Amino acid sequence: MQTTNAEAPQRPIAVRLTGVSKHFGGVRALDDVNLEVFGGEIHALLGENGAGKSTILKVLNGVYAPTAGTIEVNGAPLNEHTPDAAKRAGIGMIFQEMSLVPTLSVAQNIFLNNEMKDSLGLIDDASAAKRARTLFATLGVDIDPLALVGDLSAGQRQLTEIVKAISRNVKILILDEPTTALSGGEVEKLFTFLRRLKSEGVAILYVSHRMDEIIRIADRATILRDGHHVITAPMSALTLDKIIEYIVGRRSRGFSDVARINAIRGAPLLELRGVSGPRRPRSIDLTVYAGEVVGIAGLLGSGRSALARVLFGIDPKISGEILIKGAPVEIANPRDAIAHGLALVPEDRLRQGLVLEHSVEVNSSISILERLSNWIFVSPARAEAAADRQIEALRIKTSSRDAPARTLSGGNQQKVVIAKWLNTEPDVFILDEPTGGVDIGSKAEIITLVRDLAARGKAILVISSELSELLTVADRIIVMADGRIASETARSEFDDPVPGDDVGEQLQYAERQLSTLLQKAHTHV
């Protein structure tokens, strides 16, 4: 265990964990962990999936009681371990797995269990909507407080989750992957708001797998590995290479470790001619070839995910033509898409990609039940063989094929979603935020897997808000704005014309070029 406090601010300690352990049966999720977060600082909590980050957050939020150890909040012991006790202590949390009720309005969700009342003691929805609008204004975003949460985009739901947490005037704010579904502009607004909270003395514990965010926003970082505290240090004392080394336990440069190989382009597998959806996309012309990865960039609302939903038959195609292997096809629903050789790895794997309580075997074979059946019964031997084949091919880390999907790390859950579709033997893969909520080591592994799929002759569309991910995986990059294609650029065009020796710096240069192109496309909408 290492702690570097040379630059630690002389501020009151808002949260102190001393010797905290949490056991689940024989599994030690946390083992004798110490952590201090100061008031008026942004403290990053880092580690691979399964390192213990989520367990610490749930212990702080009262979801779990620690097996051993003590917790102090602003100098007072926290002896009652319940969500209500955490709220009374001034702790607010934004969950990665959103806790909103889709059938309630935005305002009703924000003030759920904390409803505003009128003079008669009745729930005052009008005042709640007015207050919610004011809170959204502090973040610089415009979301209708009367809209149903179920009708919001993923990014709008994430912003609603953030506003819900800050509505209680929290003293300690915990954020678990808060920017996964946010556009670049929304991330900037969130960061501005967090810096304001920090200046007001709020303690902020920030969890993210996006290293560029951590370097920009955090004052100090604590790194966990396998449930143990590895190091706490000021960000000024940590390089990106060192952070990754502490996280994974070996030297790694994340995306910079993924070798770029020129694609060998085959025949067109997917062609779109003037394709439009109900609102977005609009008049999309695009060809994706066998052996090629096409990245799709765009700010929130640009139509990236809407394009995926139309292609997969989730939303109707209003006009235009879709061709697979040169032949026109009609895709009215996901069943049609699968029959024509398409596969979609959705943005929200927990709600749309997996049945969390079911096993790895069931999740990986659910897409091919007809193929595994003898008359009306699924053959256990065939299902086991299909699961084992993908577990081995994708190197899925699981205790067994019978383990529930919820017990896997985020990266391995994502591999199970990919395995499900690989079993259908598709020609075209559509991946929406394929590394969202996945640790830095697994991100590079998934990107390498995508490149391997392309090398096997698949045509692949990758939608991502993480620019470094797109620049690592793609051969071409499409920028979308307002539902249309604003630009189409070969990946090589983003490279520094006078490259240096440092691969990481080259990637950062390319990221700046793509970011400029994105902002330009958004400005011209």
DSSP 130-170: HHHHHHHHHHT----TTSBGGGS-HHHHHHHHHHHHHTT--
Rounded to whole angstroms, the Cα distance separating 27 from 18 reads 20
Going by C-alpha positions, the residue among 5, 174, 188 that lies closest to residue 90 is 174
Q: Residue 19, SS3?
A: strand
* pLDDT for res 445: 82
The reply to whether 453 falls in a domain is yes
Same-domain check for residues 381 and 414:
yes
Helix (H) or strand (E) holding 285: strand 284-289
Does residue 2 have a pLDDT over 70?
no
Residue that terminates a domain, selected from 251, 276, 299: 251
Name the range with the highest mean pLDDT among 9-13, 143-147, 248-252, 376-380.
143-147
The reply to whether 272 falls in a domain is yes
Does residue 490 have a pLDDT over 70?
yes
Does residue 499 have a pLDDT over 90?
no
* pLDDT for res 479: 95
Same-domain check for residues 482 and 360:
no
Same-domain check for residues 63 and 9:
yes
Tell me 280's DSSP state.
S
Contact 198, 226 (CB under 8 A): no
Same-domain check for residues 304 and 413:
no
Report, as an integer, the average pLDDT of 426-433. Answer: 94
Report, as an integer, the average pLDDT of 180-205. Answer: 85
The reply to whether 239 falls in a domain is yes
The reply to whether 166 falls in a domain is no
The verdict on whether omega for the bond into residue 281 sits within 30 degrees of 0, i.e. cis, is: yes
Does residue 6 have a pLDDT over 50?
no
* pLDDT for res 24: 82
| Other residues' Cβ atoms within 10 Å of the Cβ of residue 357 | 9
Does residue 97 have a pLDDT over 60?
no
Residue that terminates a domain, selected from 378, 395, 425: 425
Task: List the strands of the sheet with 342-345, edge to edge.
Answer: 342-345, 428-432, 459-463, 293-297, 476-481, 484-490
Same-domain check for residues 382 and 462:
no
Contact 176, 54 (CB under 8 A): yes
Measured in Å, how far apart are the chain's first and last C-alpha atoms?
51
Same-domain check for residues 402 and 448:
no
Same-domain check for residues 323 and 458:
yes
Rounded to whole angstroms, the Cα distance separating 360 from 354 reads 9
Higher pLDDT, 476 or 151: 476
Q: Residue 268, SS3?
A: strand
Rounded to whole angstroms, the Cα distance separating 44 from 52 reads 14
Going by C-alpha positions, the residue among 386, 129, 451 that lies closest to residue 378 is 386
Same-domain check for residues 436 and 516:
yes
Going by C-alpha positions, the residue among 483, 75, 100 that lies closest to residue 318 is 483
* pLDDT for res 98: 60
Q: Which pairs with CB-CB distance under 8 Å and at least 24 residues apart come from 311-316?
A: 311/270, 311/272, 311/275, 311/337, 311/342, 311/344, 311/430, 311/461, 312/337, 312/342, 312/344, 312/430, 313/337, 315/277, 315/278, 316/277, 316/278
Write down how long the chain is.
525
Query: What tokens appear for 323 in the block?
Result: 């061709």
* pLDDT for res 468: 85
Report, as an integer, the average pLDDT of 385-404. Answer: 89
Same-domain check for residues 436 and 329:
yes
Residue 59 CA to chain centroid, in angstroms?
A: 22
Report, as an integer, the average pLDDT of 505-516. Answer: 85
Going by C-alpha positions, the residue among 321, 264, 334 that lies closest to residue 293 is 264
* pLDDT for res 163: 87
* pLDDT for res 368: 87
Cα within 13 Å of Cα(227), Cβ side: 13
Does residue 372 have a pLDDT over 70?
yes
Higher pLDDT, 10 or 174: 174
| Chain mean pLDDT for the chain | 87
Return the minimum-mean-pLDDT range out of 154-163, 297-306, 387-396, 478-487.
154-163
Same-domain check for residues 264 and 223:
no
What pTM was estimated for this model as a whole? 0.67
Contact 474, 295 (CB under 8 A): yes
Same-domain check for residues 490 and 451:
yes
Provide Rg for the chain, Cα atoms: 24
Q: Which residues pair with 329 in a beta bridge?
A: 322
Q: How many separate domains does the chain show?
A: 3
Rounded to whole angstroms, the Cα distance separating 410 from 286 reads 31
The reply to whether 117 falls in a domain is no
The reply to whether 459 falls in a domain is yes
* pLDDT for res 131: 92
pLDDT band (50, 70, 90) for residue 263: confident
Q: Which residues pair with 319 in a beta bridge?
A: 276
Contact 365, 372 (CB under 8 A): yes
Q: Which residues pair with 270 in a beta bridge?
A: 288, 324
Same-domain check for residues 333 and 446:
yes
The reply to whether 113 falls in a domain is no
In the block, tokens 């003590």 appear at 70
Rounded to whole angstroms, the Cα distance separating 431 from 420 reads 13
Report, as an integer, the average pLDDT of 281-286. Answer: 96
Return the minimum-mean-pLDDT range out of 65-79, 220-234, 501-515.
501-515
pLDDT band (50, 70, 90) for residue 285: very high
Name the range with the highest mean pLDDT among 9-23, 29-43, 376-390.
29-43
Write the CB contacts of 394 (distance below 8 Å, at least 6 apart in sequence): 415, 418, 419, 422, 449
pLDDT band (50, 70, 90) for residue 254: low
Tally of helices (H runs) and strands (E runs) in the chain: 17, 23
Residue that terminates a domain, selected from 197, 221, 251: 251
Does residue 524 have a pLDDT over 60?
yes
Tell me 358's DSSP state.
S
* pLDDT for res 518: 85
Going by C-alpha positions, the residue among 361, 355, 354 that lies closest to residue 378 is 361
* pLDDT for res 76: 94
What value, to the nearest 5°, has the Cα angle with vertex 218 and ends 214 and 222?
Answer: 85
* pLDDT for res 219: 96
Rounded to whole angstroms, the Cα distance separating 206 from 208 reads 7
The reply to whether 2 falls in a domain is yes
Write the CB contacts of 512 (distance below 8 Å, at least 6 apart in sequence): none
Does residue 344 have a pLDDT over 90?
yes
Does residue 277 have a pLDDT over 50?
yes
Residue 495 belongs to a domain with what CATH number? 3.40.50.300
Report, as an integer, the average pLDDT of 364-368. Answer: 89
Domain residues for the domain of 317 are 257-341+427-523
* pLDDT for res 3: 56
Going by C-alpha positions, the residue among 212, 157, 209 that lies closest to residue 414 is 209
Write the CB contacts of 193 (distance below 8 Å, at least 6 apart in sequence): 138, 139, 140
